[in-house]
Amino acid sequence: MARLTQADLVGLNSVLETHTPQELLAWAKDIFGERVAILSAMQRAGATVCHMAYATGVRMDVLFVDTGVLFQETLTTRDRIAKEYGLNIVSLLPDETMEEQTKRLGVLYLTVEGQMQCCDLRKNVPLLKAKGKYDALVASLRRGDGGKRARVPILAIDEKMNCLRVNILANFSNEQLDVYIAEHQVIVNPLHAQGYATIGCNRCTTPVLPDEPRRAGRWRHLGPWAAYCGINPTDVDRGDESVEMPQELIDRIFGRKADFVI
Ligand code: SF4
């Protein structure tokens, strides 16, 4: 096995900047084969990635973390996308229901520390159940979302999952996203039309006012310091993460021909 760091990806990332999302999707499938999946929360951008997979015929599993306290509209969107786009959506669930967790640990999401523990138990731990199955996860983070995501790279190291994140929409602008959704009539969560700019668990998501930042509706009760759940490594990165992969796979990622085996 060999190590791959974020710094190793700088040159390749600048080459991939000129690729369209659909080309990046095809690139990921070509490099990782059966060991790549889409990770989608079924928000607008995640639904768009699902539509791109459907429209281009690039087949891969779709991972969906179901915290058990999502809005019914989100679950209905997931089910419509699975059926109408013919995608295999794998829902990953926490070990405990929210009721069981609350009996054991209390209402966690009302404090900053509790929110981190709750997100860990209900989002990060379920996703970790898929660790080892995939070398890459296609995600839908966009620089247009601002905040920590304003600098999200196309290829990002996911140390916890020991895989690469392929952010195929990283440089897809807000306008491009709007146009794609309208032109292709992408199935979108109806809550977006009710003022929910981004959508997570029903306990921790509210609509936003027109002049508020897009993420103001996430963990509003905790204030602006609790802006992310940690499921996306680039939201909380340290900058020195690395993953371990076979040298042959790393050579394939960089388009090099492997003439040796470790
Ligand atoms: S968003 Fe809220 S309810 Fe959902 S996992 Fe995180 S803290 Fe828990």
pLDDT tens digit string along 105-115?
999 999 999 99
Which of 196, 204, 205, 219 to mutate to test ligand 1, by most ligand atoms within 8 A of the CB atom? 204
Which of 74, 203, 221 to mutate to test ligand 1, by most ligand atoms within 8 A of the CB atom? 203
Look at ligand 1, atom 4, and give the residue with the nearest C-alpha.
201
119, 201, 204, 229: the catalytic one is 229
Look at ligand 1, atom 2, and give the residue with the nearest C-alpha.
204
- Considering the domain boundaries, does residue 112 fall inside one? yes
Sequence-distant (≥ 6) Cβ neighbours of residue 33 within 8 angstroms: none
Between the CA of 7 and the centroid of ligand 1 the distance, in Å, is 32
Which of 93, 99, 100, 118 to mutate to test ligand 1, by most ligand atoms within 8 A of the CB atom? 118
- Considering the domain boundaries, does residue 262 fall inside one? no
Taking CB atoms and a 6 Å cutoff, what residues make up the pocket around ligand 1? 67, 69, 109, 115, 118-119, 122-123, 200-201, 203-204, 229
Active site residue 119: no
- Considering the domain boundaries, does residue 258 fall inside one? no
Between the CA of 201 and the centroid of ligand 1 the distance, in Å, is 6
Between the CA of 123 and the centroid of ligand 1 the distance, in Å, is 8
Residue 33 has pLDDT above 90, yes or no: yes
- Considering the domain boundaries, does residue 228 fall inside one? yes
Q: What is the CATH number of the domain that holds 146?
A: 3.40.50.620
When divided into structural domains, the chain yields a total of 1
Residue 178 has pLDDT above 70, yes or no: yes
Residue 40 has pLDDT above 60, yes or no: yes
Between the CA of 100 and the centroid of ligand 1 the distance, in Å, is 14
> What is the overall mean pLDDT for the chain?
94
- Considering the domain boundaries, does residue 16 fall inside one? yes
- Considering the domain boundaries, does residue 261 fall inside one? no
- Considering the domain boundaries, does residue 92 fall inside one? yes
- pLDDT tens digits for 202-213? 999 999 999 998
Residue 188 belongs to domain spanning: 2-253
The 3-state secondary structure of the chain, one letter per residue: CEEEECHHHHHHHHHHCCCCHHHHHHHHHHHHHHHEEEECCCCHHHHHHHHHHHHHCCCCEEEEECCCCECHHHHHHHHHHHHHHCCCEEEECCCCCHHHHHHHHCCHHHCHHHHHHHHHHHHHHHHHCCCCCCCEEEECCCHHHCHHHHHCCCEEEECCCCEEEEECCCCCCHHHHHHHHHHHCCCCCHHHHHCCCCCCECCCECCCCCCCCHHHHECHHHCCCCCCCCCCHHHCCCCCCEEEECHHHHHHHCCCCCCCCC
Between the CA of 231 and the centroid of ligand 1 the distance, in Å, is 11
Confidence of residue 258 (pLDDT cuts 50, 70, 90): low
- Considering the domain boundaries, does residue 60 fall inside one? yes
Of 64-78, 110-124, 137-151, 217-231, minimum mean pLDDT range: 217-231
Look at ligand 1, atom 6, and give the residue with the nearest C-alpha.
119
